[in-house]
């Protein structure tokens, strides 16, 4: 459980979305209020222009832009304060993407997506129990077998299967316009071009990729031998945080978002970020043309350009936020967590393997017509471990 001291702050240099109940002043980061009690929040996720918070009772609160149904199909509009999402079935996990939110259902390990689809909460059937969900600009789903699936939600609405991988089940999956990176449970970084995955015409002849391979995932040579804890990225650049707290960067650097002291692009491989090489970096995040790093002293390193403010090229902004432990970026806004530990500190998505009678896969998911029955949250479950099981996960299961 998260302590009562846990808080989240939004950058003053923000988009018009995710305003929450904050007043503009001279502070760099402003606290988001009107959240559910911190002890009840299990996870939260940040999309391009929206956020979603998952509570221990399976309910979801949304914040930000929902004009395209990216949080909830039945409550269209913009949420300037955290708002409880009605008509959602009990949720076990959630993950926000560019203009969608993935929801992992509690009752049958199936995934639904809220976006611009015609039908509320489209079912994403991967023909096996889903145990993990990831998103960036694209939705990714991990199956019980260790295989994982790309879903083209915006064009063909088709599913493509990959894996299982020899390096273990994915700890993280993140895709940009041109590349996709998988971090395995053993900390290896694998990459692949998106050329054969995208059917939307977004992959152009001038796309720069982390790996030229178009059909299978291969080790990223510039990160070979480096144990990766987390990868962050957006449309045209990536950051990688190693287990020994070093940061590496790849991609477009037009606005100095790579933190290497210049504005020259880095497409020949990941390079060491130099702006903070003497600091212990504890978390990373990336927006459209900017990057945010958090060091162990609570300093926030801002690199690149936001929508509302153009930073001087090569300039690095540093802000002190007492107790800062984690960072999340939307397209043009930043959210910082403070407290003893971040709320999403379990990198592995641990989900229950259902041991009760399997519900029909074609069950109507429109909760207006057919309310999904509440499942006893205290039922015993088996735990499918995508990586190592940490104490936070154990406490999380115990309290259910």
pLDDT of residue 170: 92
In tens digits, what is the pLDDT along the chain, a chain of 400 residues? 455 578 888 875 544 444 333 344 446 778 888 888 888 999 999 999 999 999 999 999 999 988 888 898 777 788 988 999 988 889 999 999 988 999 999 776 889 988 866 566 788 999 999 999 999 889 999 999 999 999 988 788 889 999 899 877 899 999 998 999 999 989 999 999 998 888 666 666 567 899 988 889 999 999 999 999 999 999 899 999 999 999 999 999 999 999 999 999 999 999 999 998 889 999 999 999 999 999 999 899 989 876 445 444 445 677 788 889 999 999 988 999 998 888 875 444 444 443 323 333 333 444 433 333 333 333 323 333 333 334 334 443 334 3
State the residue for tokens 């019980």: 144
H-helix or E-strand containing 395? Answer: helix 391-398
Q: Are 49 and 15 in contact (CB under 8 A)?
A: yes
State the residue for tokens 């471990």: 385
Q: Are 325 and 282 in contact (CB under 8 A)?
A: yes
Closest CA to 333 of 32, 84, 58, 41: 32
Burial class of 357 by CB neighbour count within 10 A (0 to 12, 13 to 18, 19+):
exposed
Backbone angles phi and psi of 283, in degrees to 5: -160, 160
CA distance 145 to 213: 24
Look up residue 107 and give its DSSP letter: T
State the residue for tokens 């009690």: 37
Closest CA to 18 of 44, 57, 38: 44
Q: Are 21 and 30 in contact (CB under 8 A)?
A: no
Backbone angles phi and psi of 38, in degrees to 5: -60, -30
Q: Are 335 and 56 in contact (CB under 8 A)?
A: no
Q: Are 285 and 327 in contact (CB under 8 A)?
A: yes
CA distance 333 to 45: 13
pLDDT of residue 389: 36
- Encode 159-169: b = buried (16+ Cβ within 10 Å), e = exposed: eeebbebebbb
Domains of the chain, earliest start first: 7-398 (2.130.10.30)
Chain mean position to CA 324: 18
User: Is the bond into 193 cis (omega within 30 degrees of 0)?
Assistant: no
pLDDT of residue 37: 87
CA distance 61 to 83: 5
CA distance 275 to 260: 6
As given in the structure block, the two tokens for residue 198 are: 């995208």
CA distance 311 to 293: 16
What global pTM score does this model have?
Answer: 0.82
As given in the structure block, the two tokens for residue 44 are: 């939260």
H-helix or E-strand containing 397? Answer: helix 391-398
CA distance 306 to 18: 15
As given in the structure block, the two tokens for residue 327 are: 């960072």
Side-chain-side CA neighbours of residue 184 (13 Å) = 23
DSSP one-letter string for 110-151: -EEEESS-SSSSEEE--SS-EEEEEESSSEEEEETTS-EEEE
């Amino acid at each position: 459980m998260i302590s009562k001291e846990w808080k989240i702050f939004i950058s003053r240099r923000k988009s018009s979305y995710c305003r929450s109940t904050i007043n503009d002043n001279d502070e760099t980061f402003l606290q988001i209020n009107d959240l559910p009690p911190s002890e009840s929040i299990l996870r939260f996720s940040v999309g391009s222009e929206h956020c979603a918070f998952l509570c221990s009772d399976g309910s979801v609160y949304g914040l930000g832009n929902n004009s395209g149904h990216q949080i909830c199909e039945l409550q269209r509009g913009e949420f300037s304060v955290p708002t409880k999402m009605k008509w959602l079935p009990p949720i076990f996990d959630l993950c926000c993407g560019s203009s969608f939110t993935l929801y992992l259902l509690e009752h049958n390990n199936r995934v639904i997506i809220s976006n611009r689809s015609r039908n509320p909460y489209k079912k994403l059937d991967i023909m096996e129990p889903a145990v993990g969900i990831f998103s960036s600009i694209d939705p990714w789903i991990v199956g019980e077998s260790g295989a994982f699936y790309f879903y083209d939600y915006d064009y063909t609405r088709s599913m493509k299967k990959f894996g299982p991988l020899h390096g273990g089940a994915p700890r993280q999956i993140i895709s940009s316009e041109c590349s996709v990176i998988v971090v395995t449970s053993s900390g290896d970084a694998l990459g692949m071009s998106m050329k054969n995955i995208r059917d939307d015409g977004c992959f152009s002849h001038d796309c720069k990729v982390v790996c030229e391979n178009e059909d299978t995932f291969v080790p990223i040579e510039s990160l070979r031998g480096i144990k990766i804890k987390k990868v962050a990225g957006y449309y045209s650049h990536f950051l990688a945080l190693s287990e020994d707290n070093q940061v590496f960067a790849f991609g477009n650097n037009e606005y100095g978002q790579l933190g290497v002291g210049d504005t020259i692009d880095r497409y020949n491989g990941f390079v060491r970020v130099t702006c903070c090489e003497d600091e212990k970096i504890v978390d990373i995040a990336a927006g459209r043309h900017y990057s945010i790093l958090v060091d162990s002293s609570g300093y926030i390193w801002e690199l690149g350009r936001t929508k509302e403010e153009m930073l001087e090229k090569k300039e690095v902004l540093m802000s002190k936020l007492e107790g800062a432990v984690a960072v999340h970026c939307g397209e043009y806004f930043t959210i910082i967590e403070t407290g003893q530990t971040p709320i999403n500190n379990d990198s592995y998505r641990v989900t229950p393997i259902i041991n009760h009678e399997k519900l029909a896969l074609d069950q109507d998911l429109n909760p207006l017509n057919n309310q999904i029955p509440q499942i006893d949250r205290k039922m015993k479950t088996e735990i499918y471990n995508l990586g190592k099981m940490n104490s936070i996960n154990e406490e999380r299961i115990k309290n259910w």
